[in-house]
Amino acid sequence: MSNLSFVAPTRNSPWGTYLSQIDAVEPYLGHLARWVETLRRPKRALIVDVPIELDNGTIAHYEGYRVQHSLTRGPGKGGVRYHPDVTLEEVMALSAWMTIKNAAVNLPYGGAKGGIRLDPKQLSQKELEKVTRRYTSEIGIIIGPQQDIPAPDVNTNGQIMAWMMDTYSMNVGATATGVVTGKPIALGGSLGRVQATGRGVFVIGREAMRRLGIEMEGARIAVQGFGNVGSIAAKLFAASGARIVCVQDHTGTILNERGFDMQNLLDHVAKTGGVGGFSGGDKIANEDFWKVKSDVLIPAALEGQISKERAEGLQTRLVLEGANGPTTPDGDAVLADRGIVVVPDVIANSGGVTVSYFEWVQDFSSFFWTEDEINVRLDKIITGAFKHIWEVSEQHRISLRTAAFVVACTRVLEAREERGLYP
């Protein structure tokens, strides 16, 4: 089969990482391997120009993407990120991981992802709104409550989802709350959605620790990335008796062997925008983060963080992937050799998309659940999915990542086979 002409992945680049994960799963697919090439090709990739008039009167152009990797099991589902390093290859990989994640948790979705190449910190609120509305109009031809449902991701939030929903609604001439998830509560958002990804990381982490015999009380936790996912996971671990001993974000790396006072740290981050300068811990070099002794390491920033070199120096028992794709294939191989268990992103951070699914269901039925109901349902779905993946891992003696891909790819390809090819 020929390679795709529009990307040039390397072994450890995002799409290259994803392709190597598909290669690893192929031997376990049985007769479904006949369809495996479907997973190596996104169904649809849209690249759009996003022109806006800046506050100073000049015209700026931004590059936007929406990739739908698979729509075999249902509408596309996946976030939109605003970041200067967004590329087509990255968005393709993220959309493919969404296909796997949705199937691993057994949600009725395919995988999609979007992004705009820009630094939102360089734009005013008004400019951000213009970019969001224009981007939504440009990708409006392929999104919709039953086609593809965007959500927040890196540097996007409920306000951006509100603008997307409003723009789409204006274009179709009716209020379409179900076109995006992660919306403000007043616009059909779901209780518990903001905390859902971090909560899922904690719930899955707790299950993995129990199976590995790691005591929660006093467990040493290191967290990279202290945004929505990392901070909420850290808070829940600390509330359960664990110690958060090291935290890193874009403002620096801080260490406290006794464990941080979480409320003080969260207050500092809310006030200053990052962990840097926090007086309740010692500043250490960023690269030293990867050498800190811990029981659980949570990479919750961007992809490609645990390289071969960093994996060789890690002093942890369990890696809990809060971010998407934080471990490179070379890093993964080293961790496997060293006996460090990795709970892959496609299950570890699936709490967000699970509660996005709840939000979508609530929007369609115009009937909303309490936060307790949402958390009970979330815990039940993701712990059930994790239990199944753990069993497959033990049955085949394969890593949890490969096991998650076996479960997910089997579901996607069974659906592909049942549907057949049109026309």
Return the active site residues.
113
Q: Is 231 left (phi over 0), alpha (psi -120 to 50) or beta?
A: alpha
Whole-Å CA distances, 6 to 3, 42, 110, 234 = 9, 11, 22, 39
* Listed residue (284, 280, 236, 231) closest to 258, CA to CA: 280
Complete edge-to-edge strand list for the sheet that includes strand 44-53: 44-53, 59-70, 111-116, 76-82, 148-152
* Listed residue (63, 182, 59, 64) closest to 127, CA to CA: 59
CA 401 to chain centre: 15
Name the maximum alpha-carbon separation found in the chain.
64
* Listed residue (243, 200, 250, 255) closest to 226, CA to CA: 250
Q: CB of 254 within 8 A of CB of 278?
A: yes
* Residues in Cβ contact with 353 at an 8 Å cutoff, skipping those fewer than 6 apart: 77, 78, 98, 101, 102, 105, 107, 109, 151
Determine whether 366 is exposed, middle or buried from the number of CB atoms within 10 Å of its CB (0-12, 13-18, 19+). exposed
State residue 421 phi and psi, 5-degree precision: -105, 135
Q: Three-state DSSP class for 246?
A: strand
Q: CB of 172 within 8 A of CB of 181?
A: no
